[in-house]
Amino acid sequence: MAKRIAIIGLGLIGGSIGLALKQTELERTEVVGYVRRPEAANRVLKLGAVDIIKDSMAATVDKADLIILATPVMAIKEILTQIGPHLPHGCTVTDTASTKVKVMQWAQEYLPPTVNFIGGHPMAGKELTGIEAAEANLFQGRTYCLTPGQNASPASIQLVVGLVSEIGANHLFTTALEHDNFVAGVSHLPFVLSSALVLTTTQSPFWAKMSSFAATGYRDLTRLASQHPRMNYDICLTNRENVLNWIDEFIKELNRFRRLIAEDSQELENAFIQARQARQAWLEKHDKKD
């Protein structure tokens, strides 16, 4: 494992990585943190998410073997340009953003060639945000996507694979292109649907009375609308084409359902049967529980 790990950004994800690392009792690893707002430093230290907080990014990455960027995706470009000149020779940098193509481009462009970059995306989250919501077991059993940069050394890849394993997650190698297409379908399209469902219903003139009829189904379907708005926005900006494509595919399918309902078609029952079976197959294959 690394001797010094730097975490830049200590919200839900960065804070949870810190807490998970602390739990593994890596006695020889020092975890150094940086937070944009100084007033957050005390809370981070009180929770024990890092050993020490530095007051500049340059000081944070100093002598670090492994640097983890756990900020919103749109902040990464700026951070890369800022830390670039201060990064130790041969160190490894990874991030935790939900989209990877842009991040890999920025890393290629702004990091010195002696630095290893491995894109990362822990597929874990919850509605609450910020360091207060951080928890050591957030990544337990979750998939953690890795997209190694073209110049990343085998040792640097191993270092990040080790980090993923230490915090309890399962690594999954992928390309940035595949990653962004796939998560647009299974994660980004869903949060757009959740948000659109909330606005469709809550802006209806019936909502004042109708809201009493909303139950657990509505709660589940709208859960992703409670994700951090800035994160959702950044994802859409950095993965626009994929998100638009999946929205278009979805509208086609929804219009098919609309037609089957309008026509009282027996095909409609088959569509529901097929959807149920396909979901069941996914749950079973990936050992998920409802």
Residues numbered 196 to 255 that lie near a copy of itself (CB under 8 A) are: 196-204, 206, 209-227, 229-230, 232-233, 236-237, 240, 243-244, 246-255
C-alpha dist (Å) from residue 118 to 149, 231, 278: 5, 21, 33
To 5 degrees, how large is the angle CA 143–CA 149–CA 155? 80
CB within 8 A of 134, min separation 6: which ones?
10, 11, 12, 13, 14, 15, 16, 18, 19, 47, 49
Q: Closer to a copy of itself at the Cβ: 84 or 185?
A: 185
Q: Is 271 in the site for a copy of itself (CB under 8 A)?
A: yes
Q: Which residues pair with 30 in a beta bridge?
A: 4
Over the window 137 to 176, marking each residue x when it contacts a copy of itself by CB under 8 A and - when it does not, the resulting string is -----xx-x--------------------------x-x--
**DSSP 8-class letter at 98:** S
Q: Is 257 in the site for a copy of itself (CB under 8 A)?
A: yes
Within 32-61, which residues bind a copy of itself (CB under 8 A)? none
Q: Is 181 in the site for a copy of itself (CB under 8 A)?
A: yes
Alpha carbons within 13 A on the beta-carbon side of 242: 25
Q: Provide the minimum distance between the beta carbon of 171 and a copy of itself in the complex, in angstroms, as a whole number.
A: 11
Q: Provide the minimum distance between the beta carbon of 53 and a copy of itself in the complex, in angstroms, as a whole number.
A: 29
Within 72-101, which residues bind a copy of itself (CB under 8 A)? none
For residue 222, the surrounding DSSP H or E stretch is helix 216-222
Would you say 159 and 66 are in contact if contact means Cβ atoms under 8 Å apart?
Answer: yes
Q: Closer to a copy of itself at the Cβ: 114 or 204?
A: 204
